[in-house]
Amino acid sequence: MTTTPDVRAVSADIALSLDPQAAPILRNARPDIDEQPMSRAQRILVGVFVFVPMLALLAAIPFFWGWGLSWHDIIIGAVFYWVSGLGITVGYHRHFTHSSFKAKGWLRVVMAIAGSMALEGPVITWVSDHRRHHKYSDKEGDPHSPWRYGNDAKALAKGLLWAHMLWLFDPNQTSQEKFAPDLLADSKLRKVDDWFPAYVAVTLLGPALIGGLWGMSWHGAITAFFWAGLVRVTLLHHVTWSINSICHTWGDKDWAARDRSTNVGWLAIASFGESWHNLHHVDPTCARHGALKGQIDQSARVIWAFEKLGWAYDVRWPNEARLNGKLSPEATRRLGSMTVRNEKAAKAANPADRTAA
């Protein structure tokens, strides 16, 4: 595939399906790429966010032998990983990008803040990039397809590196006015977006403060900053980036997608269910990505809990009628829990259909 997207493209079908009220804005001809490219200072800042935590991970083994890893660090790191990771998967991705469910105003703010703590960029920037990815998935215009340079081994190796992290340094910025007008119209989300530097400080210095107070020592603060701050951010980054690279290259295809998206089971727990990526590209607004039996999807369970508590509503659970016929011939599992069953549709398709209840 070629490397330069058509900046004159004006199709807004994905964003319109997410927010029909934005139609008057989206029907105005807007380019996919913002006229203002990323500045050198912004690219340097991205480099700091990407490489400083990564250097900490590379130093983890010798640091471990010199300082040790305490249970305090593990617990603090796990809590921050869970909060910031779910902020990305439940908040940034399933709620803000794809409107898989609606949420109370306070919960929207909390999810946006939690996602910001993953250090993957402000919410409106993240959503804009991801909506553009779905519009052009694995085609010209996709900001991070591993098939960008071709299909042979050398091109794919280069494409994997691009899809995993190098695309972050592309000076061409996705137009927020075109791809996220609904979020730009939300004053509370714009404030969260503007306060992103503050959440960077919280996600890095918070573990150090907790670790220092818990152990009542500078040693506890330093080790918590290293393990629960820098190393935790690096691990979460690479898990998230693996969805862009690995889950568009290798894996299982349980669903008949029009792109190269796959399911990668061994990434499911670390990614909170995001690595069930094949169904996500077949049915992007579905709140559960691991819709088949045995596919662990922690993000879907959190959304289920929000719904039970009355914090989330209009959840788009896997729908048997909508998904009938989209399973690939190789799929052997049936639809699992949280599925909206449709007995008439199932019987009409096949009384013994593997997707029936």
CA 286 to chain centre: 14
Predicted local distance difference test score (pLDDT) of residue 333: 79
Statement: residue 354 has pLDDT above 60 = no
Tell me what the mean pLDDT of segment 243-272 comes to. 92
Instruction: Give residue-wise pLDDT tens across range 85-127.
Output: 999 999 999 999 999 999 999 999 999 999 999 999 999 999 9
Predicted local distance difference test score (pLDDT) of residue 67: 62
Predicted local distance difference test score (pLDDT) of residue 157: 86
With 0-12 / 13-18 / 19 or more C-beta atoms within 10 angstroms meaning exposed / middle / buried, residue 336 is: middle
Predicted local distance difference test score (pLDDT) of residue 201: 95
Q: How far is it, in rounded angstroms, from Cα 146 to Cα 249?
A: 7
Tell me what the mean pLDDT of segment 24-49 comes to. 55
Tell me what the mean pLDDT of segment 158-171 comes to. 87
Note whether 249 and 262 are within 8 A (CB).
yes
Q: Positive or negative CA dihedral for 15, 17, 20, 26? A: positive
pLDDT tier for residue 36 given thresholds of 50, 70 and 90 = low
**DSSP-based three-state secondary structure for 87:** helix
State the maximum Cα–Cα separation within the chain, in Å, rounded to a whole number: 67
Statement: residue 135 has pLDDT above 50 = yes
Predicted local distance difference test score (pLDDT) of residue 235: 92
Q: How far is it, in rounded angstroms, from Cα 70 to Cα 176?
A: 43
Instruction: Give residue-wise pLDDT tens across range 188-246.
Output: 999 999 999 999 999 999 999 999 999 999 999 999 999 999 989 999 999 999 999 99
Predicted local distance difference test score (pLDDT) of residue 344: 53
CA angle 234, 239, 245 (to 5 degrees): 120
Note whether 237 and 53 are within 8 A (CB).
yes
Predicted local distance difference test score (pLDDT) of residue 258: 87
Which of 316, 317, 319 is CA-nearest to residue 343? 319
pLDDT tier for residue 343 given thresholds of 50, 70 and 90 = low
CA distances from 243 to 26, 250, 295 (A): 28, 11, 16
Q: How far is it, in rounded angstroms, from Cα 266 to Cα 255?
A: 18
**DSSP-based three-state secondary structure for 293:** coil
Q: How far is it, in rounded angstroms, from Cα 123 to Cα 46?
A: 15
Predicted local distance difference test score (pLDDT) of residue 29: 54
Name the phi and psi angles at 103, rounded to 5. -140, 155
Tell me what the mean pLDDT of segment 311-322 comes to. 94
Predicted local distance difference test score (pLDDT) of residue 109: 98
Predicted local distance difference test score (pLDDT) of residue 190: 97
What are 207's two structure tokens?
Answer: 């573990």
Q: How far is it, in rounded angstroms, from Cα 80 to Cα 115?
A: 11
- Average model confidence (pLDDT) for the chain? 83
Instruction: Give residue-wise pLDDT tens across range 323-340.
Output: 878 888 777 778 888 888
Predicted local distance difference test score (pLDDT) of residue 170: 84
Predicted local distance difference test score (pLDDT) of residue 7: 34
Predicted local distance difference test score (pLDDT) of residue 153: 81
pTM of the model as a whole: 0.81
Instruction: Give residue-wise pLDDT tens across range 39-93.
Output: 666 456 555 555 666 666 666 666 665 567 889 999 999 999 999 999 999 999 9
